[in-house]
Structure 1
Amino acid sequence: MGVYHAGSRAVQDRVGVRARADQVGRAVGAVLKPVAAAFLELQPMLVLGAADPVSGAVWASALTGEPGFVRAAGPRRITVAAGPVPADPLARALAGEGVRVGTIALDPRTRRRMRLNGRSRPAAPGLAIEADQVFSNCPKYLQQRERYETVADRAPGETRWGGELTAEQGAFIGAADTFFLTTVHDHGADAGHRGGNPGFVRVASPRELSWRDYPGNSMFLSLGNLATDPRAGLLFLDWTTGRTLHLSGEARTEFGADGDRTVRFTVRQTADIPSALPLRWSAPAYSPANPDPAY
C-alpha cells in the first residue's frame, strides 16, 4: 500500500491539507539511508508499539541499551539488542513472528526523531525489524534534555496493573511534557510522539484524558489510524526515575468548528513499572513551539 490509507486521507481532506501531505509523504521510504542508520546507533532508547496478539490491546513501551544497541543490519532491517522485561505489557506481542510494530527513536539532546514501522521477530538477544516505512519528523514540540546518565544499579520494580488511573497517576500525567502514542491499522502499526508544556494532557476522570492535537506535518498518520481503528496505547516516562506508565484503551478525535482538534482517550488498562528504564535525563528546556496548554 502507499504512504496513506483511507483514514489518513479522510482527516487530511477534512482539514484541507491533502496537497501538503502528498509533498511530505515523498520523504517516506522503506530503506534506511546512512544518515538514519548513524542516528539510530547514537540512541540509548527506542520506543515501540504493537497490539497484543491475544487481547488485541494496543500498548507502547521502551527498550534501552548502550548506544549501538539499535543498529542497521541491512538497507531494510534493524536489530535491537534488548528485549522487554517479562512483565512489560508488550512482552507477549514482541515474542511473536511477523508482528506489526511501530517504532520511534527520539533524541532529546538534538531534538531529532525518526520513525520506522515494520514487522518484528525475536532475534537473540532482542529483536529484528524489517522496515516498511522509514521517515523523520520535524523538532516541533520536542523538549530538549542536554544529557543523560545510565544508573547501573537501577532495576525494574513490580508491574502494577489496573483498570483505571489512580489519583497519583493522574497527577503524574498532568505534569508530563511528553508522551508516546501507538495506533494501528489493517496493515501495520505506528508509534508517534506528543509534546507540550506541562498541563497539555488533561485528566478528566480515572478513565478519561485528553489533549489538543497541535499542528504538525499534515500526514495525520495517528489520527488517520484512529479514524479506522480506535485502539491506542500511551506511554508516559519519568525522565529522572525511569518509571514508565503504560495505558491501553480507545481514542477518538473531536473536530472543532475553528479547525482545532482534541483527542479523547478512554482508559481500559494500565501498567505502572517503577524504575523500568536505567536512564536519568537532565531537566528539560521546553520547545519554543509549545502552545499555551490552556484550552
Structure 2
Amino acid sequence: MNSPYHRGEREAQERAGLRRKAEISGRAIRGTVPPVAAAFLTEQRLLVAGAADERGDVWATVLTGPAGFLCAEGERSLSVAARPAPADPLASVLERPARLGMLAVDTATRRRMRMNGTARPEGGGLLVDLDQVVANCPKYIQRRTPPTADSGTPSAPLAARPARVSRGDRLDDGQRRLLARADTFFVATADEHGRADASHRGGNPGFLQVLSPTRLRWPDYTGNAMLLTLGNLLVNPRAGLVVPDYATGTTLHLTGTARITWGAGRAGGPGGAETGRTVEFTVTGVTELPGTLPAGWSPPEFSRFNPPVPGVVSANAA
C-alpha cells in the first residue's frame, strides 16, 4: 500500500494505535487544490506559516491581508500577497526559496485548510508550489471574528502606537501570563529533510501550561489520527509556536525543542486529556511582535469539543 506518511508519522501512528485509522484519513491528503478549497482560500484573511531558519530552528508566524490575498494559481500553486514584517523571525528565511508549512484558518466558521510546499519570493509576496493539501476538522477552534471583516490590511492599528519588538531566550512575566490564558496557538514542525508543517492547537484557557520561563506543556487531544506534528517531532525535535493575542494584535513567537510523552491516560484526566499524550516544549528563543494582527477581535465562543482543564473552571461551550 502506498502511504502518504513518512517514517516518523507512521511510527507515531503505530505508538498511538492509530495506524489503520490514519491510512483511512490519509486519503484526504492531496497534491492539488480542489475548486471548493480554492474558493475558501480567496475568502481568508489569515495564513499561519512555519519554516526552519538558517540554523535549523523552526519558527511559526502569521501572515494577514484583505480577502483575496490568498489565491490558488491553478491546482498546484498558492499565491500569497504578503510577506513577514522585517522583525519577524521568518523574514529573512522567506527572502529565498524555503520549505513552508501553512494553515489557512477561518475562525468565524471554524474551517481550516493545511498546505505544505516550497515557497519562493515573488514581488511583495510569495508563490508556493504545493506538495500536500489537507482539509482538517473544526475541532478545538474557538469561534471569533476580526474587528473589520471587509476593510483593507489589518496593519492600521499599528499606526496609533510605536512598535516595540521584544527578543530573548526565555519568557518574561507578561508573556507567561499571555500563554497561561491562551485558548489558541499554532505549532510548526519539520521532518529531517526540512519539509515543514503548520498546525492548530486549541482548548480552554489553561490547556497550555507554563511550567517555567523556558518550559511549556500541552495535551495532545484526539484528532484525525494522522499525527503529522508528532511524526515530525519523532525525527526532528525542533519546533516553533506562534501565540496570538487577539485583544491587542500582538503575536508571541517561540522556537525550541519538543518531547512527546506517550503515557496512558483516561478521558479528561490530568495531563494528556483524552489520549494520555502530552508535548513538553523547551524554549530557546522568543520574539514578541506588536501589530501583527488587527486588535479587538470578538470574544471567543469556545469549542464544544474542548476537554475540561484539570483545576480550571471550564469555559462555556459554544
Q: With structure 2 as the length reference, what TM-score do the two structures score?
A: 0.89
Unmatched 5+ residue regions in structure 1? none
**Count of residue pairs brought into register by the alignment:** 293
Using the TM superposition, give the Cα deviation of residue 158 of structure 1 relative to its aligned residue in structure 2, in angstroms: 2.9
For 1:26 and 1:134, locate their aligned partners in 2 and report how far apart those are by CA, in whole Å: 11
Aligned equivalents of 2:78 and 2:155: distance in 1? 26
- Structure 1 153/260 Cα, relative in aligned 2: closer, same or farther at 3 Å? closer
**Pair 1:158–1:2, CA change in 2 (3 A):** farther
More strand by share: 1
The amino acid that maps onto 2:37 is A
Please report the RMSD computed on the Cα atoms of aligned residues, expressed in angstroms: 1.5
Post-superposition Cα deviations, 1:50-109, rounded to whole Å, max 9, x if no partner, equal 000x22111000111100001011110011111111110011111112x11100011011
What is the match of residue 86 of structure 2? 86
**Alignment-derived partner of residue 152 in structure 1:** 156
- Structure 1 pair 8–240 and aligned structure 2 pair: CA distance change class (3 A): same
Q: Distance in 1 between matches of 2:30 and 2:147?
A: 31
In the TM superposition, 1:106-121 aligns within 5 A as 106-121=105-120
Q: What secondary structure does 1:25 align onto?
A: helix
Whether contact under 8 Å (1:157, 1:276) holds in the other structure is: no
Name the amino acid aligned to 1:127: L
Contact 2:3–2:23 under 8 Å retained in 1: no
Q: What are the within-5 Å matches in structure 2 for residues 190-205 of structure 1?
A: 190-205=197-212
- The Cα shift of 1:279 comes to 5.2
Structure 2 CA distance, aligned partners of 1:255 and 1:153?
Answer: 43
Kindly provide the amino acid, as one letter, of the partner of residue 173 in structure 1. Answer: L
Structure 1 CA distance, aligned partners of 2:146 and 2:57? 34
C-alpha separation between the residues in 2 aligned to 1:158 and 1:70? 28
Aligned to 1:243: 250
Distance 2:296 2:128 in 1: 27
Secondary structure in 2 aligned to 1:8? helix
Paired residue for 2:179? Answer: 173
- Where do residues 4-19 of structure 1 align in structure 2 (5 Å cutoff)? 4-19=5-20
Residue 126 of structure 1: aligned partner: 125
Provide closer, same or farther for how the CA distance between residues 131 and 238 of structure 1 changes in structure 2, counting only shifts above 3 A: same
The residue that corresponds to 1:29 in the other structure is 30
Q: Distance in 2 between matches of 1:6 and 1:55?
A: 24
Following the alignment from structure 2 to structure 1, what is the Cα–Cα distance between the partners of residues 257 and 301? 31
Q: Which residue of 1 aligns with 2:314?
A: none
Q: For the Cα contact (< 8 Å) 1:151–1:279, is it kept in 2?
A: no
Shift of 1:152: 2.5
* Conserved? CA contact 2:155–2:291, under 8 Å: no
Moved more, 99-108 or 152-161: 152-161
Offset at residue 293 of structure 1 (A): 1.5
CA contact (8 A) 2:13 2:227 kept: yes
* Runs (5+) with no aligned partner, structure 2: 149-153, 266-274, 312-318
**3-state DSSP of counterpart to 1:49:** strand
Helix, strand or coil: the match of 2:156?
coil
User: Does the 8 Å CA contact 2:62/2:292 hold for their aligned counterparts?
Assistant: no
Name the CA shift for 1:66/1:37 in 2 (closer, same or farther; >3 Å).
same
Q: Distance in 1 between matches of 2:48 and 2:279?
A: 21
Could you tell me the TM-score, scaled by structure 1's length?
0.96
Indicate which of 282, 289, 294 corresponds to 2:305. 289
Give, as a single letter, the amino acid of the residue that structure 2 aligns with 1:15.
A
Q: State the alpha-carbon separation in 1 of the partners of residues 258 and 80 from structure 2.
A: 29
Q: What is the alpha-carbon distance in structure 1 between the residues aligned to residue 264 and residue 112 of structure 2? A: 32
Measure the CA separation in 1 of the matches of 2:125 and 2:224.
32
* Contact in 1 for aligned 2:187/2:239 (Cα 8 Å): yes
Deviation at 1:218, TM superposition (A): 0.4
> Relative to structure 2, which stretch is displaced further, 271-280 or 211-220?
271-280
How far has the Cα of 1:148 moved from its partner? 3.1
Paired letter, 1:254: T
What code does the residue aligned with 1:108 have? T
Question: How far, CA to CA, are the matches of 1:204 and 1:92 in structure 2?
Answer: 31
- Distance of 1:151 and 1:9 partners within structure 2: 41
Residues in 2 aligned to 1:117 and 1:51: alpha-carbon distance in whole angstroms? 13
Per-residue deviation, 1:153: 4.2
Provide the residue aligned with 1:228 in structure 2.
235
Instruction: Name the counterpart of 1:189.
Output: 196
**Aligned ranges 1:59-78 → 2 under 5 Å:** 59-78=59-78
